[in-house]
Structure 1
Amino acid sequence: MNRQNLEFDAAWARNLVLLVKNTYIWLEQLSRKYRTRIASLDQIPEEEIVEIAARGITGLWLVGIWQRSPASRKIKQLYGRADALASAYSILQYTPADDLGGEAALQLFQRRLAAKGIALTCDMVPNHSGMDNSWIFEHPDRYIYTEVNPDRNFSFDTPNLSENPAGEIYLEKGYYDQSAAAEVFKLVLHQDHQTRYVYHGNDGTSMPWNDTAQLNYLNPETRRAVLEEIVRVAQQFPIIRLDAAMTLTRKHFKRLWFPAAGADQFIPTRDAFSLSDDEFDRLMPHEFWAEVIRELALKAPRTLLIAEAFWLTEHFFINRIGMHRVYNSSFMHHLLNENNREYRGYLKSILLKDPAMLERFVNFLTTPDELPAILQFGSSAKYFGAGRMLACMPGLPLFGHGQWEGYREQYGMDVSHPTLAEEPDPVIVRDHDRWIRPLLQMRNCFSSVEHFRLYDFIQPDRTVNEDVYAFSNAGREGAFLLLFNNSAKSVGGSIHASVPQRLDPENPRARSSFLWENLGLSETSPAAFWEVSGEHDAHEEPRVMDIVHGLQLDLGPYESKVYRILPV
């Protein structure tokens, strides 16, 4: 693994627990909760910050704090959505939104969070900008465009979306009558009377993001300008989430926008702009993200970068780029679909090669782009088993907006208020407080791989039950053991020795170790197993067991256990 940026192995970063909030939705919900209008960040009640911190949250990611594109909002109004906001990811400029209180309110809120041990997190969207960003008029060559309409069926006889006197912007009419989704919009520049057809931001997986303009990373001026913007924001925020980071890797940027002759999976109409590998390498000789990492190490060394990365690029970002943290969508998908053999195999392969990679993963059960966790995992044993695993795995746990409260609505990026008048589910909140909160408050015991060990769950017939996750870890509060049966069947078996794991980065040899030694016990001493819970009974007795020959236990469907182990 690329081991530069050792600052991000420091305790504050290693033990980070991140909560995401859709900013405008959150303010609306807080207004209802506190029965007073809360419209700006500086008006958020202190009680709310205290409650977030008490749950073990140490990072708050606010979605949608930047100045948004007026053209984006105008498009939505022309769609008939009079109350819609511009999209949070169609950014006019990276300055705090005026209606959230602007720079002063943001700085005050950031200081209040920091006083409670919470680091504020912002988004950046380096793949594209809002279609009416000032760059489109002042530096149009920073974007991917053509001077000829790439499809004769595209028509731009539509309203001008620009409020900037420097030019006019026209969305292709198919977006208005729902008949097509063109890849370009029409830009008319007044200064030189030029007409350009600028490509929308696009990752090739669905429709273009029709309120955005795609930046051209073959242009060194574009790379320099975006890098400077990232550095500027990084000097103001301790954590930045990089949206759709995988689209700017050289491999995928070429595939999407400058495909080789005869290639497939490119953005429609871009086959006319084919480049050979040599031509592309000459124009984009280095990975942009590697440049970002190097520059921030010099100019903003205490800012943590989180890459939203899919398409099997996670290992590339960690090993080749040295990215600080990277999305691990496999965690959510495999647990949800109960592909337990595959995910346990994936974990084993990492432990054999480079266990420290686990510390770089961002694990989650939902994100703003996914259905709420309750709609995917439910609200009973399966969810809380996955949630306890989320809280106990090395890496960075990410909690979604409303996940703790059991909210069921998925919020759009262009809405100012929730559609559903949801209230926190008291049972779900209670169960989070009982089963999840205590684990997050002891995050230092789980975030590192130094003492992390994974176990096979051996059935009476000596076969491995791949549906059971079992691992141990340790920190200041002692040693811990998690077990989670991610299946609808009751199981019985034992754990005895850890799976092979590489323990020394300088030595490729992997070794197994016994459960008792991993828990800091002597071979002959029994151990007291206390189940971690936020509702301790003063008269509760631990389970005392001799585990020299392994730990025998039964687990019901989706049952999970987290034990704190002490020698007797």
Structure 2
Amino acid sequence: MRNFPRILEINTWPWFHSFRRNRQVNSLEHISITDWQELTHNFDTIWLMGIWQRSETSKRIAQTHPGLLRDFQQALPDFQPVDIVGSPYAIKSYTLDPFFGPPSTLEKISQTFHQLEKKIIVDLIPNHIAIDNDWLISHPEFFLHGSPADLLHNPEDFFKPPIVINESEDPQESAIFVHGKDPYFPSWTDTAQLNAFSAQYRREIISILNELAQWVDGVRCDMAMLLTDRIFKETWKNLAGKPLEREFWVDVISAVKERHPHFLFIAEVYWDMEWELQQQGFDFCYDKRLYDRLIHASVDGIRAHLTASWDYQSKLVRFIENHDENRAQKTFGEEKSKTVATLAFTLPGAYLHHYGEQLGWNIRLPVQLSRFPFEKLNQNINQFYQNLFNKTFLKYQFKDAKNGKSQSQSESISWAFNTEIPEPLIGYMWYDQKECEYFIVNFSSVPQNLTSLSLNFQKNGIQVKFDTISKINWQSLTNSSRRSSFLIEQDITERALEFNPWEVLLLKFHYC
């Protein structure tokens, strides 16, 4: 298994809606291993997004929410209320939604993926849960609570659940709940806020994860930074109560990894908190900082970001779209999308690819909807991704000693960022004891010439002697018709390279 996962996010409900309409199957377990292989063959880790049981209350709220209805109509020109199935992030329970098949289905498709030597990850939504979840009755101690006065003065943030609370409980303490929220946005009114400082809730999440680890290989943790002591206290003030002895994620991740050491924890995280969550135990964290800088064409910002330490870079998740963001074609346009995709795919860290990205889709689908809009295949984009995925890069041969590989294997491949290359070019390289892959990106909309080709780097602490290099092969990763080579007959610094707008060149050479 690669040390740097190639993750495919599948919005499972609309994908299965399309698949079963065409193939006449009514459960994920009836999908053949051949069909799964065809769908996932470019990836080693599959994120089945949105498979947990949806909430009927969340569905009803979405049916009358003005902002969501506008989004639904924009995404689906022929939108009908029946298309709403509720949010996958306001779940009724951590059981498979019946739409996907019986409860045993997850075990069976997990076995299929493992036959294909692929990992499977699912959602963990630790900050909040649907307002009709049974925990509100059986375990009110898992949640934050308010008072009748809070409900009276702030009905957008506080609520009485649409289910009957145990009459033996003090209504002042247990009957008023709080909606989940991001402190910078209005409350999610289909959710109830869970309490990161509740020891009982932590034990429950650990139990759920240990059970899931029997079948799946990891979780993508929704809005993970909201559970940190600092953010939770800042968001909820006096409602939060007193923090426990250890951070939420330190407790949860260490407990699960004690029994399942290779179980993956991937954090959706914003606000430049990636390093903080890496230190709390996450294997990989969203690289939202790079995504934002790619959008705003901040070459100096991108370059500065890529000079960070290996320990930080190697635990980031690079992406150019996901279910929360606009489609890459909408955000970047066709040519620039190839450039940023190549960067995301070849930088250190995990790579996250969103289903439809490789098809050149333009429409972001709200997660509450059950079907994709019709979009034509973009042949140019599809061919670009096939070319990119079919190449063998040193990055994906890197193995980490921590994951059971020998130290010599771990050290045989290195990565370096070239700080000497002039803006708006970005240069970085992967190399081992014999071979180097040197990526040079023209991150601009105008042609560029590189008149001095600097290849200064060290291989395992030893300066590479370029008089041993006789030939450099180069190819464009964004324009498959551009490729060539040149012999090293004189000082390499005199060799010039020309770049088209938004072009990525890969130089490959061997040395001894």
**Partners of 2:182 and 2:113 in 1: how far apart?**
34
Alpha-carbon offset, residue 142 of structure 1 = 1.5
**Partners of 1:37 and 1:476 in 2: how far apart?**
52
Is 1:285 the counterpart of 2:223 in the alignment?
no
Q: In 2 relative to 1, CA 311–535 (structure 1 residues): closer, same or farther, beyond 3 Å?
A: closer
Alpha-carbon offset, residue 417 of structure 1 = 0.8
User: Which is further off, 244-253 or 481-490?
Assistant: 481-490
Matched residue type, 2:30: Q
Match of 1:563 in 2: 507
User: 3-state DSSP class of the match of 1:305?
Assistant: strand
User: 3-state DSSP class of the match of 2:506?
Assistant: strand
Q: In 2 relative to 1, CA 433–143 (structure 1 residues): closer, same or farther, beyond 3 Å?
A: same
Say which of 467, 485, 500 aligns to 2:442.
485
Match of 1:54 in 2: 41
Q: In 2 relative to 1, CA 565–549 (structure 1 residues): closer, same or farther, beyond 3 Å?
A: closer
Asked whether the equivalents of residues 145 and 197 of structure 1 are also in contact (C-alpha less than 8 Å), the reply is: yes
Say which of 181, 203, 212 aligns to 1:224.
203
User: 3-state DSSP class of the match of 1:523?
Assistant: helix
Is 1:452 the counterpart of 2:452 in the alignment?
no
Match of 1:429 in 2: 382
**Partners of 2:106 and 2:476 in 1: how far apart?**
37
Is 1:370 the counterpart of 2:325 in the alignment?
yes
Alpha-carbon offset, residue 89 of structure 1 = 0.8
**Partners of 2:193 and 2:170 in 1: how far apart?**
18
TM-score of the two chains, using structure 2 as the length reference: 0.85
**Partners of 2:433 and 2:264 in 1: how far apart?**
24
Match of 2:98 in 1: 98
**Partners of 1:453 and 1:189 in 2: how far apart?**
58
Alpha-carbon offset, residue 186 of structure 1 = 1.0
Is 1:401 the counterpart of 2:346 in the alignment?
no
Q: Alpha-carbon deviations, 1:491-534, whole Å to 9, x = none?
A: 222342558x9x99xxxxxx8x86xx2xxx65243223142769
Match of 1:177 in 2: none
After TM superposition, the structure 1 = structure 2 runs for residues 96-175 of structure 1, keeping only pairs within 5 Å, are 96-153=96-153
Alpha-carbon offset, residue 560 of structure 1 = 1.0
Is 1:207 the counterpart of 2:186 in the alignment?
yes
**Partners of 2:209 and 2:433 in 1: how far apart?**
36
Say which of 151, 160, 183 aligns to 1:186.
160
Say which of 334, 355, 362 aligns to 2:310.
355
Alpha-carbon offset, residue 26 of structure 1 = 0.8
Alpha-carbon offset, residue 312 of structure 1 = 1.2
Q: In 2 relative to 1, CA 72–474 (structure 1 residues): closer, same or farther, beyond 3 Å?
A: same
User: 3-state DSSP class of the match of 1:531?
Assistant: strand
Alpha-carbon offset, residue 192 of structure 1 = 2.4
RMSD after superposition: 3.0
**Partners of 1:52 and 1:363 in 2: how far apart?**
21
Asked whether the equivalents of residues 122 and 216 of structure 2 are also in contact (C-alpha less than 8 Å), the reply is: yes
Matched residue type, 1:240: V
**Partners of 2:158 and 2:95 in 1: how far apart?**
27
User: 3-state DSSP class of the match of 2:497?
Assistant: strand
Say which of 4, 12, 27 aligns to 1:40.
27
Match of 1:265 in 2: none
Matched residue type, 2:467: E
Percent identical: 22
Say which of 252, 255, 260 aligns to 1:295.
255
After TM superposition, the structure 1 = structure 2 runs for residues 292-371 of structure 1, keeping only pairs within 5 Å, are 292-318=252-278, 320-348=279-307, 350=308, 354-371=309-326
Matched residue type, 1:222: Y
Alpha-carbon offset, residue 547 of structure 1 = 7.9
Asked whether the equivalents of residues 18 and 61 of structure 1 are also in contact (C-alpha less than 8 Å), the reply is: yes
TM-score of the two chains, using structure 1 as the length reference: 0.77
Asked whether the equivalents of residues 142 and 194 of structure 2 are also in contact (C-alpha less than 8 Å), the reply is: yes
Asked whether the equivalents of residues 183 and 199 of structure 1 are also in contact (C-alpha less than 8 Å), the reply is: yes
Q: Which runs of 5+ in 1 are unaligned?
A: 1-11, 155-171, 173-181, 259-272, 459-463, 505-510
Asked whether the equivalents of residues 205 and 252 of structure 2 are also in contact (C-alpha less than 8 Å), the reply is: no
Asked whether the equivalents of residues 295 and 331 of structure 2 are also in contact (C-alpha less than 8 Å), the reply is: yes
Alpha-carbon offset, residue 439 of structure 1 = 4.8
Q: Which runs of 5+ in 2 are unaligned?
A: 70-80, 401-409
Asked whether the equivalents of residues 128 and 213 of structure 1 are also in contact (C-alpha less than 8 Å), the reply is: yes
Alpha-carbon offset, residue 361 of structure 1 = 0.5
User: Which is further off, 306-315 or 526-535?
Assistant: 526-535
**Partners of 1:468 and 1:441 in 2: how far apart?**
21
